[in-house]
Each structure stands twice: as structure tokens, then as C-alpha cells.
Amino acid sequence: MELLRWLSPLVFSLAFGLLYVQFLTVHPLKMSRYLLAATLAFVAAVVSLAVGFQGWELLLAILLAFASALGGYVLMTRRILAREDPRPIPELTRSKDDPGLGHTAVIYFTHGEPETYDPIGWINQFNEFDEQGIPFVPLVARPYFLHRLRKGYLRIGRSDHRRTHQRMLKSLERAFRAAGDETTRFYLSFLDDDPRPDAAVIHALNDGASRIIVSEVFLTISNHTAEGEELIRELGVERYGIPITYTGPLYDSDSLQSMFVHRANQHLGNTDKSRVGILLVGHGQPDEWDVEWMTETEQEIGFRQDVLKRFEADGYQKKNLSLAWMEFKEPKPALKVEEFSRNGVEKVLFFSAAISADAMHSQYDVPALVSKAKVPAGFPLINLGAWNDDPIVIKAIKEKIDAQMNKTQ
């Protein structure tokens, strides 16, 4: 009985730690059952402590129970973070001496985001940075990070990211067909959704592609583009004698820069350009990441500054044009919106300038940050979103692909 008296709160506390992490991270449909189980385990631990101990023994038992709960929390966190990527990789059935059917395959490669909550993308990101020794969210805080991600999904219902990129790929294919290209085939792929870029390349090879162009629909050179390229390199496509080239991201695209001014002008209404604030919001990354991937921040800042110059040349006031960051860097969006308001602007148009298609950031995070601005009630804060299926964006992507086609012809 004495052993049971000490074991009971430890076991219940361990169970609470295990179940609490699952509550924080599981799919929304499973939240309630894990919340109930974690609550029951917590109550059982408290009751066993209150009934079985007093005095100095109670203090010791509480400390041991806390350690047990923390141990369960860490154990389950490690188990969840060890989850393997479930996305299927098809079998490569093409023989090495097969020259293919003569057509080009375009692998449309972008970031990706599941329509509904699935933490695998961030789990992969955590593991990648751990392997590289790049500091990011501490281990014990990662379940809360995933909990925040899930909360965002619950707020917006679902991410538009995948469906928007599907539309963009169809628009891209139509643009090639309209230009007289009837043979190039197109394959969608994502870093953090299904299918992965290596899976898309395998499909293209199995379909007889004789040349592969990877269209990198990102703004900057970063760990994201590098990870996708590495997944493809691991396939050893060169063994099949098939040339494979990469377009590079779009930070140097004049067409993409022009899209922002064109879209803003469509949302002016009756407001004069001199009374409109333009805010280009970037994601931002920790300073430690800048050491490893300085191109991401440098290219993003350079791109957005060039866009603001285009706004100024189009008649907008320089004092009402600004950059802001979603996280890790300053200034934050609310601060700049408040400055615009003091300058006398009548509305603010804001973009998620580095995001290729509407996602959690552009649908939820950035609007939430902008809404924190202390401005008069009813002050127009208009979200112009990510790049999305805009004809100018499609033109910019096509120009990058055309450049690679011209090089390899």
C-alpha cells in the first residue's frame, strides 16, 4: 500500500503530461477526447496527492509529480516530433536507357500548406533546423507552437493555399497553350504538402519527359528552395541522361514587382493616391537564420524596396509607403499603420508580399497583426493578400520558365 500511495500520483501525473501534449497537437476532431482524458488524469493526480500526503511528504510528492508530468510531456513531444513524413513517393519505373518521348516537364514547386491542420510540415522544419544546429522554438515550446497553428486553422476554417496554386498552375498551362506550346506537361508539387517535388519528378520521368524544368515559385533563395532541390538531387536524375534545370525564385522579376502597383490601383476607389498607405508585410526570420540563409532577408528586403519605388513613381506619397515584418524583425504592421493614420491617409492597403498564394499567414496572421493598430473605428484596412492567381503573377512565372527553355534549346 505504501508503494501504491507513492506510485499513484506519479502515474497519473505522467499520464497527464502525455495526454496534454496530445491535446495540444492532435487534429481538431480529436481535441475533446484528449482534453477530457488529460483533465481526468490531472484530477486523479491532485486527489491522490491530497488524500495520500501531508506535511513535508506532500511537498516532496508534489515535486515528484511535477517531474513525472514534465517527463511525460517531454516524452510525448519527442514522439510527435519523430513522426515520419507520410507523403507517398511513387516507384520510378523508367529504365535508364529510355530517352523519353521528347517533351518538357515543368515541375511547379512551391511552399505548400495543407488545407486543414496537419503539423508534418513544421515537424520536418523543426527536425531540419535541429540537424543544422540552427536555433528555433525550444523543444518544450513546440507543442504550443503547433497548438497556435491549429488555432489559426480553426479560426479561418481551411487554408486556400493548395486550391489557389492549383488554379495558378492551370493558368500557367493555359498561357503556354495560348503561346503555341502544346507538348509541355505540368506537375504541381509542394515542400509542405502532397505531392513532394521528388514525387512530381518521378511522375514526370515515368511519363516520358526528356527535359525537366523546376519552376521555383518562391520569392527568395532560402532553406525552402534548398530543401526542394536536395530532395530532387537525391533521385539521381542525371543517371537517366535527362537534363534538369531550375528557374530560381522571383525576387528579381520586374513583372512580379509591377503586380503590386496594378492591384493597389484597382482598390483605390475614390481615394486619391496621396491619401493611401501601402504596407508590404514580409515574414521575417530569426537573426540566427540570417547567418545560414542571408539571401532570404537580403533578397526580400531588396524586392520590397523596389516595389515601393514603383509605387512612388506611380504617384503614391513616399511617407505613406512602408515595409513591415510579421515576426522576428521590426517594425511590426500595427506601428506602420498608426504612422499612416497620423499622416492623414484615408485607407491602408496591405500585402503579404513574400507569399505566393493565400495561406495561414495572409488569411489570418497578417490581418490579425494589422488589426492591432490603434486607429479610428471604421478606418479602412484592406487586405490585398498574397500574389495569387493574378495574370501578372502567371506572366512572371512563365518568363522564368521561358528563360530556362531558351537556354536548353
What is residue 291's predicted lDDT score, i.e. its pLDDT?
Answer: 82
Residue 22 near residue 65, CB atoms below 8 Å: no
d(CA 380, CA 376): 9
Instruction: Name the one residue in this structure whose C-alpha cell is 495540444.
Output: 24
Instruction: Name the one residue in this structure whose C-alpha cell is 510531456.
Output: 73
Question: Are 266 and 195 in the same domain?
Answer: no
Domain harbouring 359, CATH code: 3.40.50.1400
What is residue 124's predicted lDDT score, i.e. its pLDDT?
Answer: 87
What is residue 328's predicted lDDT score, i.e. its pLDDT?
Answer: 87
Q: Has residue 93 been placed in a domain?
A: no
Residues 196-213: what's their mean pLDDT? 96
232 — pLDDT class (breaks 50, 70, 90): very high
Residues 202-230: what's their mean pLDDT? 95
Domain count, the chain: 3
First-to-last alpha carbon distance for the chain, in angstroms, is 82
Question: Are 221 and 123 in the same domain?
Answer: yes
Q: Has residue 66 been placed in a domain?
A: yes
Question: Are 74 and 110 in the same domain?
Answer: no
Residue 354 near residue 344, CB atoms below 8 Å: no
Q: Has residue 88 been placed in a domain?
A: no
309 — pLDDT class (breaks 50, 70, 90): very high
Residue 368 near residue 221, CB atoms below 8 Å: no
Q: Has residue 96 been placed in a domain?
A: no
Residue 134 near residue 213, CB atoms below 8 Å: no
CA of residue 285 relative to chain centroid, distance: 12
Strand partners, 212: 105, 244
What is residue 249's predicted lDDT score, i.e. its pLDDT?
Answer: 98
DSSP 206: H
Question: Are 346 and 264 in the same domain?
Answer: yes
Domain that holds residue 332: 254-383
Question: Are 298 and 362 in the same domain?
Answer: yes
Question: Are 113 and 204 in the same domain?
Answer: yes
Q: Has residue 94 been placed in a domain?
A: no
What sign does the CA torsion over 131, 111, 392, 329 have?
A: negative
Residues 312-329: what's their mean pLDDT? 96
The alpha helices in 99-220, defined as continuous H runs, are 120-132, 142-156, 161-178, 197-206
Question: Are 219 and 243 in the same domain?
Answer: yes
Residues 68-88: what's their mean pLDDT? 93
Q: Which amino acid appears at position 362 of this protein?
A: S
Cell of 58: 506532500
408 — pLDDT class (breaks 50, 70, 90): low
DSSP 364: I
Edge-to-edge, what's the strand order for the sheet holding 381-383?
A: 321-325, 276-282, 347-352, 381-383
What is residue 119's predicted lDDT score, i.e. its pLDDT?
Answer: 92
Instruction: Name the one residue in this structure whose C-alpha cell is 525576387.
Output: 251
Residues 171-198: what's their mean pLDDT? 97
d(CA 89, CA 2): 54
For 113, the 3-state DSSP assignment is: coil
Q: Using alpha carbons, select from 219, 212, 177 the residue that is nearest to residue 198.
A: 212
Question: Are 109 and 145 in the same domain?
Answer: yes
Q: Has residue 92 been placed in a domain?
A: no
The yes-or-no verdict on residue 289 having pLDDT over 90 is: no
pLDDT in tens, 105-150: 999 999 999 999 999 888 988 888 888 777 788 999 999 999 999 9
What is residue 44's predicted lDDT score, i.e. its pLDDT?
Answer: 97
266 — pLDDT class (breaks 50, 70, 90): very high
Q: pTM of the entire structure? A: 0.89
Q: Packing angle between helix 294-313 and helix 254-266, nearest 10 degrees? A: 50
Question: Are 74 and 116 in the same domain?
Answer: no
For 281, the 3-state DSSP assignment is: strand
The yes-or-no verdict on residue 409 having pLDDT over 60 is: no
Question: What average pLDDT does the structure give for the chain?
Answer: 94
Question: Are 143 and 31 in the same domain?
Answer: no
Q: H or E element: which one contains 65?
A: helix 55-81
Question: Are 118 and 243 in the same domain?
Answer: yes
Residue 114 phi/psi, 5-degree rounding, is -60, 150
323 — pLDDT class (breaks 50, 70, 90): very high
d(CA 80, CA 34): 15
Q: H or E element: which one contains 325?
A: strand 321-325
Question: Are 200 and 307 in the same domain?
Answer: no
